[in-house]
Amino acid sequence: MGNTQQRVAVVTGGSRGIGRQVVRWLAVEGFAVVVGYANDADQAGLAVKEIVEAGRRAIAVRADVADETAVAALFDRAEQAYGGVDVVVHAAARTSLAPIADLDLAELDDLHRTNVRGTFVVNQQAARRVRAGGAIVNFSSSDVALAPVGHAAYAASKAAVEAITLILARELRGRDVTVNAVAPGPTATDLFFDGKDEETIAHLAAQPPLQRLGTPEDIAEIVTFLASPAARWVNGQVLRANGGIA
């Protein structure tokens, strides 16, 4: 099936939330999409079904992003199915919120395994495999700059994502592959709403001058831009997509 005219995207965390919307948008743009997921096989299957029923190409592949063997197999499957990889969107992540004084260090280890090691492992395979003219898009968070109380472990992990992103962009000199990160602010996903009361949600929605939460569609459109030929001169950047929160 190695059709070199078909652009191919691997999206980790593609079964739900922002990653799921990225999968939809890239499919609309004509990409064959490999939906990477950790546990939710049903949602990953629905994502694939939606794309295939629209006449596009997609498969789902299970992989723990922090497991280098599983991630290598994910990329192998993409290459076997579609002939290569042009775009990698690394949206898989987890969060854990607590003050530094109170955070269970086992939670810290689990969070950093997914967010830091996982980003490094996925980017390592992407660096080896993405074809010329391709793009790598990681996910940071506006928490890195906003420094909200209780978010130290998560923000620290996303600061590491930014470092990996900027350095990989330089390491791929001469490859014609861009590497950027998107740093969303508060975005209306199930993960965002989990554990928050209405007052907290209203407060966060009021922070941007645009006076609303971001949507998965807002973020997916930015990712799709970074994956497109229109963004070839955007490289080694962190795009803070938060509606203008200071």
Q: What is the pLDDT of residue 3?
A: 45
What confidence score (pLDDT) does residue 191 get?
75
Domain that holds residue 148: 8-186+216-233
The reply to whether 142 falls in a domain is yes
Do the domain assignments include residue 210? no
pTM for this prediction: 0.94
Q: How many domains does the chain have?
A: 1
Active site residue 37: no
Task: Specify if 203 maps to a domain.
Answer: no
What pLDDT is stored for residue 2 in this prediction? 44
- The model's pLDDT over 38-72, given as tens digits with 9 standing for 90+, comes to 999 999 999 999 999 999 999 999 999 999 999 99
C-alpha distances (whole Å) from 101 to each of 86, 87, 96, 148, 151 are: 43, 40, 14, 15, 12
Which two three-digit tokens encode residue 230?
Answer: 């229109």
Average pLDDT over residues 77-89: 98
Q: Is 229 within the bounds of a domain?
A: yes
Flag whether 110 is in a domain: yes
pLDDT band at 10 (very low <50, low <70, confident <90, very high): very high
Determine the average pLDDT of the residues in 117-125. Answer: 98
- Beta-bridged to residue 241, according to DSSP, are 184
Token pair belonging to 178: 């861009």
- Contact by Cβ (8 Å): 59, 75: no
Return d(Cα 44, Cα 53) in angstroms, integer: 14
On whether residue 206 sits in a domain, the answer given is no
Average pLDDT over residues 77-86: 97
Q: Is the pLDDT of residue 231 over 90?
A: yes
Residue 134 lies in a domain: yes
CATH number at 172 reads 3.40.50.720
Instruction: Give the closest residue to 23 by CA, choosing from 2, 1, 45, 5.
Output: 45
| In a domain? residue 202 | no
Catalytic residue among 154, 160, 169, 187: 154
Give the Cα-Cα-Cα angle 166, 170, 175 (nearest 5 degrees): 125
Looking at residue 222, what is its pLDDT? 97
pLDDT at 194: 77
Residue 1 has a pLDDT of 40
